[in-house]
Amino acid sequence: MKRVLFLSAALLAAGFARAEDKAMTDDQKISYFIARQVGENLRSQGLMVDVPTFSRALEEALAGKPSAMTPEATQEAMKMAQAKAGEFRKEQGEISKKGGEDFLAANKKKRGVKVTKSGLQYKVGKNGKGPHPKATDRVKVNYRGTLINGEEFDSSYKRGQPAEFPLNAVIPGWTEAIQLMSPGAKYTFYIPGELAYGERGTPGIPPNATLIFEVELLEIMKQEAGNQAPLPTKAIQGKGTTSSPAK
């Protein structure tokens, strides 16, 4: 009974949210979108702001009014914000690293899981046929990426378009992992943080996070001049992209 009531409440809440969305003007939708983006970004950095003060400063900035803080106070506030964000990332990184180590230690004991010298773990779901790609090859894949808690952060399946990229342009764990496959293969990879985004992390992926990818290698592609097929999203990009981890 409680579950039914909870579900009904959830559906009603969703209905109200949709009704509110339809009632918004274009300017209100844009404003809501921007505010959500700012709020989520601040939360991801561990920066919990005083909302009334935040709103006041925002209104003043939009109105072109001078800042209520001196340049010296502004500089000090910036340093404090950077320090708090740094402390938060360090704490999150330590928690994420310990969680990843515990997960991998238990996971490697599971049936069918193999471990490479680098610490990469993988499980074969389906074998493919043909050659293995080299690090210098370009490949086409479908994939789904999750954190160890099951939270999905990326999926080419949801975008409805496979990803194409040179293997030497992605995170180290992917460069190694995809070379184990042949076209048509489906593997699950468990990538330690040091082979993924390391201490840097990225939006949606905490520092030192162990990542899980379900990958299907569709094709090893020829390197052709002018081939500008889209690179994968933030989840696997390597050096040379704005949201990529260091290789």
Examine the residue annotation and report whether 213 is marked as an active-site residue of this protein: yes
Question: Which residue of the set 122, 187, 189, 197 is catalytic?
Answer: 197
Question: Cα–Cα distance between 169 and 139 in angstroms, integer?
Answer: 11
Active-site annotation holder among 103, 213, 220, 236? 213
What is the four-CA torsion angle of 58, 64, 65, 66, rounded to 10 degrees?
100
Q: Which residue out of 103, 122, 165, 171 is catalytically annotated?
A: 171
- Report the 3 state secondary structure along the chain: CHHHHHHHHHHHHHHHHHHHHHHCCHHHHHHHHHHHHHHHHHHHCCCCCCHHHHHHHHHHHHCCCCCCCCHHHHHHHHHHHHHHHHHHHHHHHHHHHHHHHHHHHHHCCCCCEEECCCCCEEEEEECCCCCCCCCCCEEEEEEEEEECCCCEEEEHHHHCCCEEEEHHHECHHHHHHHCCCCCCCEEEEEECHHHCCCCCCECCECCCCCEEEEEEEEEEECCCCCCCCCCCCCCCECCCCCCCCCC
- Residues 103, 122, 143, 165: which is the catalytic one? 143
Is 165 noted as a catalytic residue in this protein?
no
Alpha-carbon separation of residue 151 from 42, 112, 147, 212 (angstroms) = 20, 23, 5, 10
Residue in 154, 165, 205, 236 annotated catalytic: 154
Q: Is 143 a catalytic residue?
A: yes
> Could you confirm whether 30 is annotated as catalytic?
no
Residue numbers annotated as active site: 143, 153-154, 171, 197, 213
